[in-house]
Amino acid sequence: MKAPGRLQRLGIGLILIGAYGAVGLNVYWRGNTAYETPLWYPEPIRSVNRSKREHPFRRPYIRKEFATGPRRAVDTNQIWVQRPKLRFPKSTVGLNSVDSLELARWGVLPGALRHFLKERQRWCGFSALDQLPSSARTWPVVWELDSLPPRRILNRLPEPVLAGHPLVGWERARSLGKYRRSVRPVRSWAELRAVPGWSDVDVHQLKRYFVLNRKDSLSLHP
C-alpha cells in the first residue's frame, strides 16, 4: 500500500482538528452556566418511560421566573412625551417682536418654532401676513404688523447677502452686482427697474427692507 502524500496528510490533519474543535465547543456549550441566563436556552425534556433519562431532542422554553410576570406587548424603550396644551393669547401680538420663549410658552412645537424664526430672519421681519410659514398661519393669534428692523443699503450689500432675501434671489443679485461693477451704483428706483431681471420686482414691498444710499437710510421716507 502506498503511503499518503503530503497534501493527503495535511487534509487528514485539518479534518481531525475540525472534529476535535467541534467536540470541544459542544462540551463547553453544554457545561458552561453562562448560557443558562438567556430566555432561549433549552431545557432538557425528561421522558417518563426512560427512568429520568434525558430525551435526545431539546426544545426552547421560557424561564419560570419570567413565565409568571407580565408580558410586554409593545416596546417600552419608546418614551412618549405628552404634548403641552396650546395656550394662545387673546390679545394682539406683535409679529416681529414676539420671541422664542413666548412661542414656547404657548405650546408651539420646536420644529414650528424654529421654522417661524428662520423665516422671519430670512425676510428681515414680516411686512405682510402672507409671508408667514404655513404652520404659523393656522395659529389662532391676532397678529399685529409692528415695526420692521432698520433698512439696509442696497448698493452696499454683497451679492450672497442680497441673494438671501426672498424678494431678490440669486439671479437679481448677480445682475445688480454686475451693473454696479460695470456702470455705477443704482441712484433711483426707476433705474433699478431698468436693470436686467428687476423689471417685475415689487418696488413698494422692496422699499420696506432696503434703501439705495446712506442719505435715504437716515430719513424717514426714502
Looking at residue 79, its pLDDT comes to 57
Three-class DSSP category at 106: helix
Domain boundary among 144, 166, 185: 144
| Grid coordinates belonging to 127 | 411686512
In this structure, the answer to whether residues 61 and 117 fall within a common structural domain is no
| pLDDT per residue as tens digits for the range 47-62 | 555 555 555 555 555 5
| Grid coordinates belonging to 142 | 391676532
In this structure, the answer to whether residues 128 and 163 fall within a common structural domain is no
Q: What is the DSSP string of 41-80?
A: PPEEEEPTTTTSPEEEEEE----HHHHSSPP-SS-TTPPP
In this structure, the answer to whether residues 164 and 206 fall within a common structural domain is yes
Distance, CA of 200 to CA of 181 (rounded, Å): 22
Residue 214, in any domain of the structure: yes
Residue 47, in any domain of the structure: yes
In this structure, the answer to whether residues 182 and 125 fall within a common structural domain is no
In this structure, the answer to whether residues 126 and 180 fall within a common structural domain is no
Looking at residue 69, its pLDDT comes to 55
Residue 19, in any domain of the structure: no
Residue 17, in any domain of the structure: no
3-state secondary structure 159-211: HHHHHCCCCCHHHHHHHHHHHHHHCCCCCCHHHHHHCCCCCCCCHHHHCCCEE
**Phi/psi at 42 (nearest 5 deg)?**
-75, 145
Distance, CA of 199 to CA of 176 (rounded, Å): 12
Residue 80, in any domain of the structure: no
Domain of residue 107, residue span: 93-144
Residue 12, in any domain of the structure: no
In this structure, the answer to whether residues 160 and 191 fall within a common structural domain is yes
Domain boundary among 118, 144, 170: 144
In this structure, the answer to whether residues 158 and 195 fall within a common structural domain is yes
| Grid coordinates belonging to 34 | 453562562
In this structure, the answer to whether residues 204 and 165 fall within a common structural domain is yes
Distances (CA, A) of 45 to 37, 57, 63, 104, 176: 18, 8, 14, 61, 87
Q: What is the tally of structural domains in the chain?
A: 3
pTM assigned to the model = 0.56
What mean pLDDT, rounded, does the chain reach?
Answer: 77
In this structure, the answer to whether residues 159 and 111 fall within a common structural domain is no
In this structure, the answer to whether residues 63 and 109 fall within a common structural domain is no
| pLDDT per residue as tens digits for the range 139-153 | 989 999 999 988 999
Per the model's pLDDT, the better-predicted residue between 8 and 220 turns out to be 8
Q: What angle do CA 218, 116, 141 make, to 5 degrees?
A: 95
Residue 5, in any domain of the structure: no
In this structure, the answer to whether residues 212 and 156 fall within a common structural domain is yes
Helices vs strands, H then E, count in the chain: 9, 6
| pLDDT per residue as tens digits for the range 118-134 | 999 999 999 999 999 99
**Buried/exposed 16-49: b ≥16 CB within 10 Å, e otherwise:** eeeeeeeeeeeeeeeeeeeeeeeeeeeeeeeeee
Distance, CA of 144 to CA of 58 (rounded, Å): 76
Residue type, 7: L
Residue 87, in any domain of the structure: no
In this structure, the answer to whether residues 176 and 206 fall within a common structural domain is yes
How far separated are the first and last CA of the chain, in Å rounded?
Answer: 113
| pLDDT per residue as tens digits for the range 11-30 | 787 787 777 666 665 555 55
